[in-house]
């Protein structure tokens, strides 16, 4: 599982992701997490039908991979930058 799908496959999602991002960006900061959670929850609920253990297991694996990818590609770089600016803990 990785988010690196082919460029041609990404195009089909671009418009809907832009629209979704725009809707969520308009919300107050304290409401954004709940809306993002809702979107992911509904998507995964729909994709795990009919209910089977392997589908739930698949969904948990996807969520874990998303978390790790976000940390690896975004958060770790941010933390490294801040450590360079402010010094190590």
- pLDDT digit string, tens, across residues 28-57: 999 999 999 999 999 999 999 999 999 999
What's the pLDDT score for residue 50? 97
What's the pLDDT score for residue 77? 96
**CA 10 to centroid of chain Cα atoms:** 15
Note the pTM of the prediction, 2 decimals: 0.86
Q: Could you tell me what percent of the chain has a pLDDT over 90?
A: 94
Cβ(41)–Cβ(59) below 8 Å: no
């Amino acid at each position: 599982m990785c988010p690196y799908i082919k460029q041609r496959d990404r195009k089909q999602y671009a418009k809907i992701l832009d629209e979704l991002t725009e809707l969520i960006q308009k919300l107050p900061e304290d409401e954004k997490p709940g809306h993002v959670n809702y979107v992911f929850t509904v998507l995964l609920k729909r994709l795990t039908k009919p209910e089977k253990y392997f589908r739930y297991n698949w969904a948990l694996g996807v969520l874990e991979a998303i978390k790790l990818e976000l940390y690896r590609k975004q958060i770790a770089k941010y933390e490294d930058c801040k450590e360079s600016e402010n010094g190590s803990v």
